[in-house]
């Protein structure tokens, strides 16, 4: 699947660079419009390609990435940059469903349901990336879990337009993947 994404601040987003699109790490294969300018505020577009594996594991394969729909974008971390959340690699593990969104104080409490194969990889007070947004897990009950979305997250990402029933890309914590693999194989460190 080849996608063209219109975005501001494309300067420096050269062909071959990685950019997370709703949490899916994709490689820039073309760019144009004002993206070729060095002005970070200029608009423009870039194109990425998604493999069959990416399409199968993410919302990209569900026809949700369509013209006019916003997605969260994040450039790859550079060595020496501040790490403001947990390490997010852009390797989507699956798709969760938003069960409910409930105002809680000044925040929004989101409850989601994971695919069964990911449920054991999510822990209370652990990290999770949802549509590329690094969040802290508040509670886990079987396949269901909850996170809080602060007002800044609601305005700076696509979470402000989220609704119950929406599917979201899930990337579990990298450490959880390795621990699960060790347990699965019975390996001893």
pLDDT in tens, 92-129: 999 999 999 999 998 999 999 999 999 999 999 999 99
pLDDT number for residue 108: 97
Q: What pTM did the predictor assign?
A: 0.85
Look at residue 36 and tell me whether its pLDDT is greater than 60: no
Provide the percentage of residues in the chain whose pLDDT is more than 70: 93
Q: Is 94-184 in the same CATH topology as 2-75?
A: yes
pLDDT number for residue 131: 95
In this prediction, residues 51-69 reach a mean pLDDT of 84
Q: What is the DSSP string of 12-23?
A: T--TT-EEEETT
Q: Could you state, in order of their start, the residue ranges of all structural domains in the chain?
A: 2-75, 94-184
Backbone angles phi, psi at 174, to 5 degrees: -55, -40
Report which of 138, 131, 122 is spatially closest to residue 161, judged by C-alpha positions: 131
Look at residue 33 and tell me whether its pLDDT is greater than 80: no
Identify the three-state secondary structure at position 104.
strand
pLDDT digits (tens, 9 = 90+) for 123-170: 999 999 999 999 999 999 999 999 999 999 999 999 999 999 999 999
pLDDT number for residue 38: 43
In this prediction, residues 25-30 reach a mean pLDDT of 93
In this prediction, residues 58-80 reach a mean pLDDT of 83
In this prediction, residues 33-40 reach a mean pLDDT of 51
pLDDT digits (tens, 9 = 90+) for 3-23: 899 887 777 788 999 999 999
CATH of domain 94-184: 2.40.30.20
- Within a 10 A sphere around the Cβ of 90, how many other Cβ atoms? 20
Q: Assess if CATH 2.40.30.20 describes domain 2-75.
A: yes
Identify the three-state secondary structure at position 114.
coil
pLDDT number for residue 42: 53
Edge-to-edge order in the sheet of strand 2-6? 2-6, 45-49, 24-32, 18-21, 73-75
């Amino acid at each position: 699947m080849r996608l063209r994404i219109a975005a501001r601040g494309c300067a420096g987003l050269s062909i071959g660079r990685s950019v997370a699109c709703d949490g899916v790490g994709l490689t820039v294969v073309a760019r144009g419009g004002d993206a070729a300018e060095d002005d970070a505020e200029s608009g423009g577009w870039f194109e990425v390609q998604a493999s069959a594996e990416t399409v199968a594991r993410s919302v990209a394969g569900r026809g949700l990435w369509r013209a006019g729909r916003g997605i969260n974008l994040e450039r790859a971390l550079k060595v020496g940059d501040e790490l403001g959340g947990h390490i997010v690699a852009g390797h989507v593990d699956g798709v969760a469903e938003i069960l409910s969104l409930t105002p809680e104080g000044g925040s929004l409490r989101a409850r989601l349901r994971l695919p069964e194969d990911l449920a054991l990889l999510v822990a209370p007070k652990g990290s999770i990336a949802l549509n590329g947004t690094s969040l802290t897990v508040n509670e886990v009950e079987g396949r269901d879990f909850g996170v809080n979305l602060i007002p800044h997250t609601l305005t700076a990402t696509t979470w402000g337009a989220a609704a119950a029933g929406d599917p979201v890309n899930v990337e579990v914590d990298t450490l959880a993947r390795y621990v699960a693999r060790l347990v699965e194989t019975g390996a001893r460190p």
